[in-house]
Amino acid sequence: MPEMGNVKAQLTELFLKNNVEVPSNRKDLFDKFIRDDKTVAATRLISELENQLMANWKLQDRIATIQGQPVRIHNASVGKLYEAKLDFEQLGWTDLSHWKFEGLEENGLTFEEEQKQISGKPVQSGDIPLRFLFKLKEQADDEPFNEKLIMLIVNPDPKSLWKNLDSDKNDPYWKEDNITVCEPLGDRYILASSKRGRSHANEGSFREDDFAFMNLENGWSIVAVSDGAGSARFSRKGSDIACRSVVEYFGEESSATSLQEFDQILEQHKAKASPDSSTKLNHYVYNTLGKAAFTVHKRLEDFASKAGHTLKDLSCTLIFTLFKRYESGYAFLSFGVGDCPIAVLNKDISEVTLLNWIDVGEFGGGTRFITMPEIFRNEKFATRFSFIEKEDFSYLMLMSDGIYDPKFVVEANLENIAKWKELLEDLNGNNEGGVKVELDPGNKEIVQQFSAWMDFWSTGNHDDRTLAIVF
Amino acid sequence: MTGEPIEAVKNGIQVMISSLRQNPQAIETAFISIITFDSTARQLVPLTDLASFQMVDIKASGTTSLGEALKLVSSCIDNEVAKTTQEQKGDWKPLVFIMTDGIPTDEWQSGLDEFRKRKTAYTVACAAGSGADSNLLKQITENVVSLDTADSQSISKFFSWVSASIGVTSTKVEDAGKEVSGLGELPPPPSELNIVT
């Protein structure tokens, strides 16, 4: 029963709204009117309807607020397990009575209502609006659900995005996209592969890495690897020339004569024959390898000027190692410019010896090239050469950064024998796809096996890959 | 920047992100950060990998604190872009895109001095509309693009160009050094030569 005062106030307001005045001679009539049962019932009804209207409005407003509220759930990726929890407390959704998602299944997802958790493996990529349905506690059970769209960004699986487009065979500097070989080298075998990276395959551009090797006179062998700079227009030709030139250089007669000298210099050095025997050896290494490196630089320069390119267009790194077996063990002579490492593993794989230091800049990709004249003038030039002797060795490896980056990541790991053991285990099939290379010259499948291994997947590492293993 | 231009920028970034997500190289390697500058400069999104990136609301009104923005991007590069060390693999050098529709209202020279000390793979400045001064932006970088009008069509064109650049550049940005030519012969060995130990 509404109080009489309320009825009076309500009617006074109503009269006012309708511009109806109650003159003093109608006051008694008005008093009687507000006490009338019908009037009281009518005002009560009005009040109730008004309250209901307001409650309805509040409800609609609340629903609209929730619908407009930004809800962020982290991004998903196709084929990868996804979990996202809706934190109702944090969202201020404590007034919800029912909730569910519709259509999640077609995206490979499910929703646990009690846990308020979306989970599953998304099947398609894109910006997907998820339909969240909810009811508020104030809503009647038979009222329909309200709908809110929550945007879920699903990234595509990068593996599905890479294209494999052929390179242009009519290009004058075309080279095979992929090459893998296994041949005898010295008293050992060499297994070498150079593969076009996915980043190049995706655009139909060329492999920029290269390698070369050769049996030389007098028991020497040489292996060279070069990585063409991605930013240089004709680096694929540069790396080709660099590898071929250095191998050719040592194949020339003058080099053969010079290498013969080495036997004697080494012997004197080992016998400590004279006080200056090690100086002689130092100078021999510097002059012989230095000349070779410089010849490569000159040949690149000649080629560039004849072809009307700049030397920079041919930018490439270069590493090479000469090795020979003596009675007492193996001698290795190396040179390197750029970010490609050379390493020798001892017989029982307990020790790694690095034959060069690598040029890594402050940021990714910052390296040095054989095409840069300044490297020959730099004070560090002499430190680019090395000579070591090993009684025996298990593996000699030369690689481009396409292998070094995914397998060693940082320079410090190159000195870590455990990392090399991991690489050997990896080659032995301890990898995602179980791809195994049996490093045995009798293995007739060795080329196919190695070629398959070289295609390993490593997120973000899709540069050209070159790996030469002497075993 | 308000109204249609800022909406166009938001839309442009959104489209750019969507298209970059379709680029395998970008989705595996690219990180993005957004800094806005009006009366003050703010980093709205810290350096975030493309796969996790979510667009935020961008607002810009009032003045043009370009100097402060250049200072902020410099300190963000210091803090968020990893350099190569023995134990850590460095990030690629950052690409910086600057877009403005006004002329700086702060003491921007000191910001420029800071920014110049940082290494970027390249920096592109975009003068959007007649209110911006492309000659002034030339002091920041030689790569200046200017849009005659800051309407949604021009802005969206700019962003499709930006996304193409990110896609291409994230493949490799090398420090190819300066071109020095002319070297007659191999320099003689230094007096201290210790190859053999």
- Mean confidence (pLDDT) of chain B: 81
Of all residues in chain B, the one with the smallest CA distance to A365 is: B174
Chain B nearest C-alpha distance from A293 (Å): 9
- Whether residue B29 is contained in a domain is answered as yes
Taking an 8 Å cut-off on Cβ atoms, the answer to whether A231 and B176 are in contact is yes
Asked if B70 and B140 touch (Cβ cutoff 8 Å), the reply is yes
Amino acid B94 reads P
Taking an 8 Å cut-off on Cβ atoms, the answer to whether B177 and A156 are in contact is no
- Whether residue B194 is contained in a domain is answered as no
Nearest by CB to residue B174, choosing from A198, A229, A460, is A229
Nearest by CB to residue B172, choosing from A74, A230, A360, is A230
Chain B nearest C-alpha distance from A109 (Å): 19
Contacts of B25 in chain A (CB under 8 A): 199, 202, 462
CB-based contacts of B40, cutoff 8 Å, min separation 6: B65, B68
- Whether residue B43 is contained in a domain is answered as yes
Amino acid A403 reads I
Taking an 8 Å cut-off on Cβ atoms, the answer to whether B172 and A231 are in contact is yes
Taking an 8 Å cut-off on Cβ atoms, the answer to whether B176 and A459 are in contact is no
Residue by residue, pLDDT tens for chain A (471 residues) are 456 678 999 999 999 999 999 999 999 999 999 999 999 999 999 999 999 999 999 999 999 999 999 999 999 999 999 999 999 999 999 999 999 999 999 999 999 999 999 999 999 999 999 999 999 999 988 999 999 999 999 999 988 999 999 999 999 999 999 999 999 999 999 999 999 999 899 989 999 999 999 999 889 999 999 999 988 899 999 999 999 999 999 999 889 888 989 998 999 888 887 888 888 999 999 999 999 999 999 999 999 999 999 999 999 999 999 999 999 999 999 999 999 999 999 999 999 999 999 987 666 656 899 999 999 988 889 999 999 999 999 999 999 999 999 999 988 999 999 999 999 999 999 999 899 999 999 999 999 999 999 999 998 899 999 999 999
Chain A nearest C-alpha distance from B81 (Å): 9
Taking an 8 Å cut-off on Cβ atoms, the answer to whether B179 and A310 are in contact is yes
- Whether residue B174 is contained in a domain is answered as no
Chain B nearest C-alpha distance from A160 (Å): 8
Interface test with A, best of B85, B174, B180, B185 (most A CBs within 10 A): B174
- Give the tokens for residue A354: 């690095």
Positive or negative: CA dihedral B53, B126, A199, B76 = negative
- Whether residue B185 is contained in a domain is answered as no
Taking an 8 Å cut-off on Cβ atoms, the answer to whether A202 and B81 are in contact is no
Taking an 8 Å cut-off on Cβ atoms, the answer to whether B186 and A409 are in contact is no
Chain A nearest C-alpha distance from B173 (Å): 6
- What is the domain count for chain B? 1
Taking an 8 Å cut-off on Cβ atoms, the answer to whether A310 and B29 are in contact is no
Q: What is the pTM of this model?
A: 0.79
pLDDT above 90 covers a percentage of chain A that reads 85
Q: How far is CA A167 from CA A173, A176, A246, A451, in A?
A: 11, 9, 26, 19
Query: Tens digit of pLDDT for each residue in A191-228?
Result: 999 999 998 999 899 999 999 999 998 899 999 999 99
The whole-angstrom separation of Cα A420 and Cα A343 is: 10
- Whether residue B195 is contained in a domain is answered as no
Domains, chain A, with CATH or none: 4-68 (no CATH), 76-161 (2.60.40.10), 178-470 (3.60.40.10)
- Whether residue B176 is contained in a domain is answered as no
- Whether residue B137 is contained in a domain is answered as yes
CB-based contacts of B150, cutoff 8 Å, min separation 6: B1, B4, B5, B8, B101, B128, B129, B131
ipTM over 0.90: no
Nearest by CB to residue B190, choosing from A159, A294, A382, is A382
The whole-angstrom separation of Cα B123 and Cα B76 is: 15
The CATH number for B160's domain is 3.40.50.410
Taking an 8 Å cut-off on Cβ atoms, the answer to whether A463 and B172 are in contact is yes
Chain B nearest C-alpha distance from A316 (Å): 10
Its domain, for residue B56, covers 3-81+90-169
